Amino acid sequence: MISAQDVNKLRSMTGAGMMDCKKALTEADGDFEKAIEILRKKGQKVSASRSDKEAKEGSVFIKVSDDKKEAVLIALNCETDFVAKNDEFQAMGKLLVDTAFNTKAADKDALLNTKAGALTLAEKITELVGKMGEKLEVSEYVRMSGEAIVPYIHAGSKLGVLVSLKGVNGKDVTDAGKDVGMQIAAMNPVAVDEKSVDQSVIEKELEIAKAQIIAEGKPANMVDKIAQGKLQKFYKDNTLVHQIFVKDNSKTVAQYLDGVSKGLAVADFRRVTIG
């Protein structure tokens, strides 16, 4: 006979629901270790059964070192906004980002295989899947280092940005970094500048431009030159430092930063969004 006291004990140990705990203890003939394993298997079963679901909700979690030279960004996804706001979901996100920061895990797989107590983080997520009844997954894991890393979180933690600034010269550039983070969140640039645009993107833009120019009936000997002009326009609109600064359209982002502190510039950035 499984007592209410035993059920409460297992519930406090696992956080699982009362009926799930009672069923697990009954199946395990009162053996707590077996009951915990049964609950974990239930979580794995739930995880597998929801593997085809889309996890388009969730939250972004960021942790930055005190000296602002190291930062970690984690995106933890779920199926509904209701679960994303759940305290246990938020606690899991914090555990993930803290562990990533402290262990300096090389990538997402290394992070998920890291032990947090008796279980790996992957196993802890599986347990939480069993409790929440929703698919949960780490969709992004970003590590960044530099002279000064500034975070920016927007849209109810649905969008996170890390900005790495260079040419800092010991100054506090937090406000400038947040301004640039807001720019990145709003304008979604493809790269820092034209030198850092992926070659495949350049080739695609040139292909599109040439097709447009030919369709307009321009002379064949002018196609390449006009296409290069369109590519320069693409750089202006879509690379961060050349974009018009959203808070002052009289200057570019590069000009804004140089005005804050001579030589201040963007070294790198990452923009991660949920959904």
Nearest CA to 234 out of 208, 271, 267, 266 is that of: 208
Distance CA 193, CA 87 (A): 40
Distance CA 253, CA 257 (A): 6
Per-domain residue ranges of the chain: 4-49, 51-145
Identify the pLDDT of residue 131.
87
Distance CA 64, CA 74 (A): 12
How sure is the predictor about 151, in pLDDT bands with cuts at 50, 70 and 90? very high
Q: Is the pLDDT of residue 167 over 80?
A: yes
Options 1.10.8.10, 3.40.50.920, 1.10.238.10, 3.40.140.10; CATH of 4-49: 1.10.8.10
Q: How many CB atoms lie within 10 A of CB 29?
A: 9
Which phi and psi (to 5°) does residue 123 adopt?
A: -70, -35
* Residue matched to tokens 């797989």: 109
Nearest CA to 188 out of 161, 206, 150, 165 is that of: 161
Q: Is the pLDDT of residue 28 over 90?
A: yes
Residue 193 CB burial class (10 angstroms; 0-12, 13-18, ≥19): middle
Identify the pLDDT of residue 54.
87
Q: Is the pLDDT of residue 144 over 80?
A: yes
Q: Is the pLDDT of residue 46 over 90?
A: no
How sure is the predictor about 174, in pLDDT bands with cuts at 50, 70 and 90? very high
For domain 51-145, give the CATH superfamily: Elongation factor Ts, dimerisation domain (3.30.479.20)
Structure tokens given for 130: 């069993």
Q: Is the pLDDT of residue 155 over 80?
A: no
User: In CATH terms, are 4-49 and 51-145 the same topology?
Assistant: no
State pLDDT tens for residues 222-263.
999 999 999 999 999 999 999 999 999 999 999 999 999 999
* Residue matched to tokens 């040419």: 167
Identify the pLDDT of residue 234.
95
Q: What angle do CA 104, 109, 115 make, to 5 degrees?
A: 65
Task: Provide Rg for the chain, Cα atoms.
Answer: 25
pLDDT mean over 2-26: 87
State pLDDT tens for residues 69-91.
999 999 999 999 999 999 999 99
Which phi and psi (to 5°) does residue 190 adopt?
A: -85, -20
